[in-house]
Each structure stands twice: as structure tokens, then as C-alpha cells.
Chain A
Amino acid sequence: MMGHYLVLSAAMFSIGAYGVLARRNLLIILMSIELMLNGVNIALLAFARMHPETGTRGHVFVLMVMGVAAAEVSVGLALLIAVFRNRQTVDTGDLKSLKG
């Protein structure tokens, strides 16, 4: 059943969205973004399997998403380390120097 895969994809994305919105620990926010990207990957693979005539287009797209995720997490964690070094906190509530 195709629908089940898409429901799982939506569930993963929603859980990740909750993590990004509700948590204030930068590490867990970054992990939740990974979860959201994975939800999208499942949907892409499900659609690729649904339409085999499109070949491996969906698979290539998922590989691109993985590359972007790897780049994003390396920069994100480097930012986190820089923030922690300067402010001794990973709480997004304490980071309000850009607040007007």
C-alpha cells in the first residue's frame, strides 16, 4: 500500500516539526531537521516506487537531499560550537542579541 508510506512520511515530518518548534536546545533542533529531511526522503522513494516508469529519478533526488543534509549538519554543528564558545549556552531562548 502506497498510502502507508506517505502516512509514515507525514508522521516523520510532523515529529520533526514539533522538535524544531517546541525545543530550545540547538542540538535537538538540528536533529529534528534531520528527521524532517528523512520524512521527505521516504515520500520521494515511495513516489519513485509508485511510478517505476520514471526510472531512478527519485533515487537520485534522495541522494541529493542526503548531500545537502550532510553539508547542513556540518555547518550547523560548527555554528553551534561557535555559539557555545562565545555564550556558554545552547538554549535558543538565551540568544537574543539580534532582537530589536
Chain B
Amino acid sequence: MAIDPVFAAAAGVSVVAGIAMVTRRNPVYSAIMMLVCFLALAVVYLKLDAPFLAAMHVLVYTGAILVLFLFVIMLLNLKPEEMGAELPLPARGLIALLCAGMFGLVVLVLMSDPSIHEPLPKMDPRLLADFGGIERTGHSLFNEYGLPFELISVLILVAIFGGVVLAKKKL
């Protein structure tokens, strides 16, 4: 089975950047690696015919969340001794083994399913038209999923209040 070269490159970059992210001691390097990882994941989203979500991913994750992380890192201005002690190496190795085992288990299950090896279904041009585009996603978001959409806005409002209440010194 042939791997699409664009997907292979994006997946490789995101996995390597992800591993670098969780292993760096300095959070600034972790944040930069997170940026690389998320940009590579945006390419994966594009390969899955989701251009609108790829744009939203770049906007929300790299535009908002990553900048918030960098802002907090600068605000805290951690000295090396304040970054805390890490777990001893054997414990970390054991956890890495557990996580690799979890990954292996998922891959094992995936590979035992023959339908997974089929190439992406050829799309009916009628379905492909604007699949994952802004118009169709927006249409189903506001018609079919109006209530969940409104509830998300309530959730974000609560998060704004929570953020202010928690981070403010004196109310």
C-alpha cells in the first residue's frame, strides 16, 4: 500500500514535533514544537478534504491557544529551578512503554480490519462539491446543530468569567 507523500511528510513532522513537545524541559521549546505540530496537522486536515476546519484549526490553535500559552509562559517567567523536578527515568520509561502499548493495541485492531486498507472512497461529485467547505459546514451548524452551537457559546462565556475570576488578584 502506497502512502501519500504529502500525508507522510505532515504526519512525520507532527509526530516528531509532538514527541519533542512532551519531552522538552523548557516550556518555551514545548510551545514552539506545539506550533510546528499543529501546522503539520493543518496539512493533514487539508488532505482529509476539510479546508474550513484546517483554517479554523490554524486560527484557534496556533492563533489563540498557542499565543495564550506563550503569554502565560512569559508572564510566569519561570527560572530553571522553578520548573519542578521531573519523575525519575524508570517511571517515565514505564509510562512511555504503557503509552506505546496503547498505541500498538489501537494499530493492532486497525490492521485486523480489512476495510481500513481500502483507499479513501471516491466521492460522488455531488457530495464532493463543497465537502468540508465553509458553506456546507455553516449550513449544518446553524440548521441541524443550532442548539449545541448556542450551548458552546454559553460554555465559552462561562470560561471567560472563570478565567477572569481565577486569574484576577482582587475582584
Residues of A within 8 A of B (CB): 1-8, 10-19, 21-25, 27-28, 30-32, 34-35, 38, 41-42, 45-46, 48-53, 55-57, 59-60, 62-64, 66-75, 77-82, 84-85, 88-94
Contact = CB atoms under 8 A, between A and B. Distances in A.
Given A19-B21, A27-B27, A70-B156, A77 B99 contact: no
Contact of A28 (B27, B57, B107, B144): B27
Contact of A21 (B85, B95, B152): B95
29 contacts: A1-B117, A7-B110, A10-B107, A12-B41, A18-B22, A18-B96, A22-B91, A23-B22, A24-B84, A27-B76, A32-B21, A35-B18, A38-B37, A38-B61, A42-B41, A42-B45, A52-B123, A52-B124, A56-B139, A59-B140, A64-B148, A71-B159, A73-B68, A74-B159, A74-B162, A78-B163, A81-B75, A89-B84, A94-B84
CB-based closest 5 A-B pairs: A91-B84, A19-B22, A71-B159, A78-B166, A14-B103
Given A6-B116, A21-B99, A24-B85, A74 B48 contact: no
A77 to B, nearest CB: 5
Contact of B127 (A7, A13, A53, A71): A53
B84 A90 contact: yes
Contacts of B166: 75, 78-79, 81-82
Contact of B21 (A1, A31, A55, A93): A31
A4 B47 CA distance: 12
Given A10-B107, A59-B137, A62-B53, A77 B72 contact: yes
B44 A8 contact: yes
Contacts of B24: 28
| Secondary structure dominating the interface of A | helix
Interface in B25-47: 25, 27, 30-31, 34, 37-38, 41, 44-45
Nearest to B92: A22
A35 B37 contact: yes
B3 A66 contact: no
Interface of B: 1, 3-4, 7, 11, 14-15, 18-19, 21-22, 24-25, 27, 30-31, 34, 37-38, 41, 44-45, 48-50, 52-53, 56-57, 60-61, 64-65, 68-69, 72-73, 75-76, 78, 82-87, 91-92, 95-96, 98-100, 102-103, 106-107, 110-111, 116-121, 123-124, 127-128, 131-132, 136-137, 139-141, 144-145, 148, 152, 155-156, 158-160, 162-167, 169
